[in-house]
Structure 1
Amino acid sequence: MGAAVAACAAAHAAAVLWCPEGRGAASARRAERFGLEPVPTLRDLADRADIVLALCPPAAAEELARQVAGLGFTGVYVEANAVNPERTRRIAGLFPPGATVVDGGVIGAPPVGGSSPLLYLSGPEAGTAAVAGLFTGTAVRAEVLGPRIGQASSLKLAYAGFQKVSRVLVGLSYALAREHGVDAELLDVAGLRHDAYLAEPDAVTAAAARAWRWGPEMDEIADTLEAVGLPPELLRAAATTLERWHDVKDDAALTLPEALDRLAAPPADAGR
């Protein structure tokens, strides 16, 4: 997602930079594919960039922001990760007074092959306007929600809670049906209804391959629910369920039976 979104910003930016320091070969291939300009260190990036767009797994979001803030960055920092509003506000507090922090949330598939995700923004008007301007006329549709940090991140998590947990439930439904030999019949039943994900069990394999980053996102959504007095247990349970798929990270060859087998088997470290 990050590389594809950054490439769209190239339409209005003098250069789109990325830092390969600490990143893997797959990240390097994506950056090269989308024409991003490498810089040797994060300090080089912070010194050159006017806008930093942070799109990474939730677990890394706060540490990345701390590193960038520690370099004295005073431009616009877009916290566009799937983290809860309170974490977003905490991240904003890491930056020196001269910096502007914008809350962001991407909804939709990466902007390739005809996909056109929405980038929701909230925060100081000057910052949101500058970021939205980067994507004018591109496949990324930027929309400003308002002036409050937390608006964009809460919208992202509100949608992600449904969109991702529903696929986890499909996996559990088919795993349960298979244990009793009625998985084919469940698919027949689903085909007669309008439960989209239940009628498309192959979507489970895509969810399994993304479990390594969806799991932490479920915890972020649970924290958000709990903060306003709503029950977080379903999202906590989804995160626990996703842990059973952590060993198939980004496995495009994973089959549905293999994904269901992993749901039926306890994690290797269970009981430790």
Structure 2
Amino acid sequence: MATIAVIAPGAMGSAIAARLHGNGARILTVLAGRSAATIARAQESGMEGVEETALAEADLILSIVPPAEAANLAIRLSPLLAAAVRKPVYVDCNALNVLTKRGVAAVIGQAGAPFIDAAIIGAPPKSGERGPRFYVSGDNLSASVALREMGLDVRPVEGGVGAASALKMSYAGINKGLTALAAVMVLAAGRAGAAHALYAELAESEPELLARFSRVLPDMVPKAYRWVAEMDEIASFLESDDGGRLMFDGAGRVYERLSAECDGDEVGQLKAFAAAAERP
């Protein structure tokens, strides 16, 4: 039976843990300082709370944390990995730009542990569904076979460490960048009194886009706080492209504003626009 550490037991981490546990893996995590709701979710997913030092006993460590926490987690765990006789494979699954991911790989490499660059695209796994896609890249991907055998949709990407992250940055830039663009323009139309006209024009000329916006705008609101750091990572990914970098720096500020507003007027306008689009 494989032993896999999943850090941390958030929505994605716990769902992936449940899939792995359901296919026979022992799942370790750290629950110290976590809320009662998080602990309950972890236990329901088959996760076993252990001291951080015990993570080195795992065959693989999956890092699934907010982007801003990924590098610090690697630094914190590196002494444990360095001291381990049998090194776990460290799989960084976070939405990081290529340079940041390679920096994490360097920290783990100095500890003597194998490293896999991973990128998760799609929603947390659900029973009866194959997804999400679990893209992996690196010099040695043999350990990722175990993840495929335990129910993850693992897909290798050629190009070494950074290739999977580049795919994630590019896909998220298109997907979540388009959502940010839609939010900005819907709100701008509303401020100018043209929201109904914009809705009517999209319904006539771009019905597929309107259907998409009706789904993604309300879905984005509770996630906006998590997308701020991801937009900042994409901006760093585009560092050599001034226009692109500024575009995604702006998207980050849009999500930052919407997450701070929560149930304010702008969020209400976006939800109202989406609701109108859902009506026949």
TM-score class, shorter-chain normalisation, is 0.7 to 0.9
Matching residue within 58, 61, 83 for 2:96: 83
Q: State the Cα distance separating 1:64 from its structure 2 match.
A: 0.7
Is 1:20 matched up with 2:35?
A: no
Q: State the Cα distance separating 1:18 from its structure 2 match.
A: 1.2
Give the secondary structure class of the aligned counterpart of 2:143: helix
Q: Which runs of 5 or more structure 2 residues have no equivalent in the other structure?
A: 1-11, 271-280
Structure 1 CA distance for aligned equivalents of residues 261 and 40 of structure 2: 20
TM-score (ref. length: structure 2): 0.81
Amino acid in structure 2 at the alignment position of 1:135: R
What's 1:269 paired with?
none
State which drifts further: 217-226 or 10-19.
Answer: 10-19
What's 2:112 paired with?
98
TM-score (ref. length: structure 1): 0.83
State which drifts further: 226-235 or 58-67.
Answer: 226-235
Give the secondary structure class of the aligned counterpart of 1:146: coil
Matching residue within 29, 32, 43 for 2:53: 43
Q: State the Cα distance separating 1:247 from its structure 2 match.
A: 2.9
Matching residue within 139, 157, 172 for 2:184: 172
Give the secondary structure class of the aligned counterpart of 1:206: helix
Q: State the Cα distance separating 1:188 from its structure 2 match.
A: 2.3
What's 2:142 paired with?
129
Q: State the Cα distance separating 1:196 from its structure 2 match.
A: 4.0
CA deviation vs aligned residue, 1:48-89 (integer Å, no higher than 9, x gap):
211000011100000111111122352100011000111111
Matching residue within 217, 223, 236 for 1:210: 223
Is 1:120 matched up with 2:135?
A: yes
Q: 1:42 to 1:196 in 2, by over 3 A?
A: farther
Residues 204 and 259 in structure 1, CA contact (< 8 A), matched pair in contact too? no
Is the helix fraction higher in 1 or 2?
Answer: 2
Matching residue within 199, 211, 224 for 1:187: 199
Structure 1 CA distance for aligned equivalents of residues 79 and 269 of structure 2: 44
What's 1:157 paired with?
169
Q: 1:227 to 1:129 in 2, by over 3 A?
A: farther
Give the ranges of 4+ consecutive aligned residues of structure 1 lying more than 6 Å apart after TM superposition.
none
Q: 1:14 to 1:141 in 2, by over 3 A?
A: closer
Identity %: 32
Q: Which runs of 5 or more structure 1 residues have no equivalent in the other structure?
A: 262-272
CA deviation vs aligned residue, 1:6-34 (integer Å, no higher than 9, x gap):
22222555401111123333432321221
Q: 1:49 to 1:137 in 2, by over 3 A?
A: closer
Q: 1:25 to 1:212 in 2, by over 3 A?
A: farther
Residues 25 and 150 in structure 2, CA contact (< 8 A), matched pair in contact too? no
